[in-house]
Amino acid sequence: QVQLVESGGGLVQAGGSLRLSCAASRRTATNNGMAWFRQTPGKEREFVAGISWRGDTTSYADSVKGRFTISRDYGKDTMFLQMNTLKPEDTAVYYCAVSRRPYASRTSTDFAYWGQGTQVTVSS
């Protein structure tokens, strides 16, 4: 069992930045991709960014490409999401997740463990 704890969410004005962190309770790097998803009320959870277990492959949703950067710190079993040039439409609860596979797909059912989520609110 792996427990994930997100932090770093909050309220920011449009154009601002936030850095989300996801701390794992134990080592998750071995053969496990990781990803960030987000969800707003009444909508399905959507893929935001993913990173392979080696950290050599990343992928992003078109809506965040060029603004968000995903990374991993293997020594601290922590994953990050640097979010720049935030827009009101980025407002959501952000979740980190550990994949069952060595890469991070865009399908939520491929992920075995989830954090509790952290709220990001971007004001216009």
User: Tell me: the pLDDT tens digits for 32-49?
Assistant: 899 999 999 999 999 999
> Which residues does residue 35 pair with via DSSP β-bridges, in sequence order?
50, 97
> How far is CA 68 from each of CA 19, 25, 65, 80, 115, rounded to the nearest angstrom?
9, 25, 6, 10, 19
CA dihedral (28, 35, 74, 80) in degrees, to 10, reads -140
* pLDDT tens digit at each of 124 positions of the chain: 788 999 999 999 999 999 999 998 876 556 789 999 999 999 999 999 999 988 899 999 999 999 999 999 877 789 999 999 999 999 999 999 999 988 889 999 999 999 999 999 999 9
